Structure 1
């Protein structure tokens, strides 16, 4: 049980946990999850933490896309955004990079979920450990994290 799963369980929402054997040589944690679980990459979302003018902000974006830092900054009213330093992310969230979940973080951070999540009945996000995903509705994820939806992802160049 991870803090993410505990939070979902306590909230009594509908969710499913999916585990897979994590390959340490995998280049993309989210891409690996989509492939190993047989789920479309548009339904698997990565949890990224950005430094938005000094404030850490969580962005939940599809693994098939990239975080648009300028759009994230605009969405949270910051002048600029950059990816946060790994040490700061791990210390603040309580999770290791590659296993950061938007749920059950040590310190609740402002969270923005890419609006494309609403195109799906359920999405997959990290359950708090590499090789472990939690499937839940985007609205439940937003409710549990206090998140807002916004256009913060761009499609990756193929």
Structure 2
């Protein structure tokens, strides 16, 4: 287990505190880097896991917070946003968020990213997101995610 809270998690917890939210970070021995791993560790439906994914919209770096039950439809989003949406490289993810792939939180980045939040997350009373580390998550709600990120509710996948 982690002896000392990593800087990335401290930053995420600081953002939560700044928004009046007491951090509720849950740590796991096993990885929670994927939606399936996180759902298994928490004993919840994979759809209640909110993956913070980094993409490029043409030259702009954007974040899409998608339900673990969905695969982001880049063509659909490109049509809606008026550009070409592609997955960011691991290096771009690290530069844009200050966090590693598998541990990207929806908050705590060096600069605010334009963020889209999967509308299907609204079906869950509680959703779980990464706390900035591949072994740490925290609970939140769809509404709180929108508020914390300044995000826009969006359809990110076709069912």
Matches of 1:48 and 1:78, distance apart in 2:
19
CA distance in 2 between partners of 1:111 and 1:137 (Å): 16
Partner of 1:113: 117
Asked if 2 retains the 8 angstrom alpha-carbon contact of 1:20 and 1:37, the reply is no
- What is the CA RMSD across the aligned residues, in angstroms? 1.8
Q: Does 1:137 align with 2:145?
A: no
Q: Which structure: greater strand fraction?
A: 1
Matches within 5 A, 1:36-51: 36-51=41-56
Equivalent pairs counted in the alignment come to 151
Task: Please show how residues 1-158 of structure 1 align to structure 2 within 5 Å.
Answer: 2=9, 3-13=11-21, 16-23=24-31, 29-75=34-80, 77-154=81-158
Q: Which runs of 5+ in 2 are unaligned?
A: none
Structure 1 unaligned segments of length 5 or more: list them: none
Give TM-score scaled by structure 2 length.
Answer: 0.87
After TM superposition, the score normalised by the length of structure 1 is 0.87
Question: Runs (4+) of structure 1 moved beyond 4 Å?
Answer: none
